[in-house]
Each structure stands twice: as C-alpha cells, then as structure tokens.
Amino acid sequence: MADLLDPELVGPLKMRLSLVPVNLHDIPATRVAGERLVAEIKKQSPPIEGVITDDRNVPGPPNAPNVFIRVYRPTNRTDILPALLWIHGGGFVLSNVEGSDLQIKRLTKAIDCVVASVEYRRAPENPYPAAIEDCYAALKWMASNTRELGIDKNRLAIGGGSAGGGLAASLALLARDRAEVNIVFQLLIYPMIDDTNVTQASPTVPDTLLWTRESNLLGWKAYLGADFGKKTVSAYAAAFRAKDLTGLPPAYIVLGELDPFLKEDITYAQRLINANVPTELHVYPGACHGFDNWALNAEVSKRFTADLNEALKRALHS
C-alpha cells in the first residue's frame, strides 16, 4: 500500500504518524496528544486575516446539554450570505471544533460564506444518537436564526470530513425525513459511512494508511455501543445502511484511492446517482485518508482543495 502513495505525501505522512499515532486503544491520551499538536500548529501558523469568529452555546436536543458552535464570517461581507454547517472528523471519538479551526477559516475566505462548526458529543462517553442529534440541533438553530446570522435560509449546506462526513450524510437523511430544514448541498469528504467495513480484505493485503480498519472497528464500536454488529443499525448512525436515498440534496463526495472508505464511498455515490440525486465523485490517485490536512503543499492536496472549493462555490453562489 505504501508504495502506491504519492511521493509528495510520504514525508508528511511519516511526520504526522510520528507526532500523534492514531491509537484508539487509549482514546483519552490520543485526544490530549492531538490537542497539543493542534495548539502547536496554530502557534506556528501565520494568522488568517479576513475572518471573524463568534463562539455560541445553542440549545441542544431535548433533555441534552447545549451545543457549542463556532461561527465564521468573512470580515468584508455584511450582506446576506450562504452558509455551511461543518462537522469535524475524528472517528466519532477524537478532535473538536478547535482541531479544524484553521481549515474552516481558509474555507470561509475561499467560499465567501458563513460557516458554523459544531462541537458534537463524542463517543464512547456519548454513543449514538448523541452526535447526530447535536448536529441536527445545530442545523435547526442555524435555520431558525438566519436573520441574526446574516445567512440565506435557501442556501444552507452541510459537510464534514471522515466521521464528520459520515455524520453529514446521516444528517442529510435525518433532515429529509423530519422535513423541518431544507438543505441544498451535502459535502462529504472521505465520509465514514459503513459500520461493517472493519476487517482487512485478506491476511496478505496490507492495511490502509493512517486510518486502519482496526481504528475503524474501534471507532464504530465506540459510537454504536450495544448496537455494533447488529443488522438493525440505523441509517442515521451509518448512512450506508439507508434503503431509500431519494429526495436527498446534491452531493459532492471526495477521497483518495488509498482510503479505507474507497469502496463504500464509491458505492454510496453510485446509489445516490441511481436515486436521481445529483452527485459528483472525485478519487485522487496516490492519496490516503486525511492527506489534505497534513500535506497542504502537495500538488494532489492543492488539486483536492481547489476542486472542492469550486464545487462548494457553485452550490452556494450559483
């Protein structure tokens, strides 16, 4: 598997794994290490000008705590803008709003939109449905406060990466079925959507890079709790389980060819197309899971980001 990796990603991947190995056998320690790395990266990064942020605690799901949201807005725009609800990744157990802060500031500037990044409750302390219900509460809050936020209720998108992409896919299903909020676009970045994709293809086939199937197994176990391994897992937990994909908003699905989610994401894209959902799929050769976050200057990452930004601009500003 490593010999297929884009040469520009080899060094950054080794560096990333040396700084914070992905170890879901010790989730608390991995969280702390990740947060330290994020703090160090932010300290060393030049400030991103032209974006203001506003931290909010908004009403959570019934009988649940408030939900923390960070709202991003371009400083040069005071008019009504389209908006994106962003859901961070981390295998349902890691990362937080702060972890994607620089990424979302860059996105806000590039797309010229308002972004609300949601801090959902993580597993295993809070298994399904805590995370998806927190995301839905954040979505409802955005849709109910469009005037205050300066956003267009008719141009509201959702998106996320990895587990955040999986939550976004499930949120699209939940919003369709509850019929309270209209979503115009779903941005699914290497989405984690199939809870059964937890074993290697064979003993002789090497596992994928960075996010392995062992990590995938542990992440899904933490999120689904007692429901893990059952045939009755809800599509609101794992979107791949959905029987009916009709009526969903247009989708943009993007990942690398060395991603453990390759098969499930391509299959999901095909099913969306078969359900008459406008769907764009991009697969980048030589790229593994999360490559765009820790190899920003690689040519494949630049293409990935430029294509994604253009798709989001078309969806929100056309």
Contact 165, 159 (CB under 8 A): yes
**Which has the closest alpha carbon to 291: 39, 86, 89, 122?**
89
Phi and psi at residue 253, to the nearest 5°: -115, 130
Cβ-Cβ contacts under 8 Å for 186 (sequence gap 6 or more)? 157, 158, 159, 168, 169, 172, 248, 249, 250, 251, 252
Contact 258, 206 (CB under 8 A): no
**Which has the closest alpha carbon to 193: 113, 132, 152?**
132
Q: CA-CA distances (angstroms) from residue 191 to 125, 147, 164, 265?
A: 22, 31, 7, 7
95, 162, 170, 301: which one is catalytic? 162
Q: Annotated catalytic, 259?
A: yes
Residue 225 CA neighbour count, 13 Å, CB half: 13
259, 265, 292, 301: which one is catalytic? 259
Cβ-Cβ contacts under 8 Å for 44 (sequence gap 6 or more)? none
Q: Annotated catalytic, 162?
A: yes
Q: Annotated catalytic, 289?
A: yes
101, 134, 289, 301: which one is catalytic? 289
Q: What is the DSSP string of 210-225?
A: SS-HHHHHHHHHHHHG
How far is the C-alpha of 286 from the C-alpha of 199, rounded, in Å? 22
Active site residues: 162, 259, 289
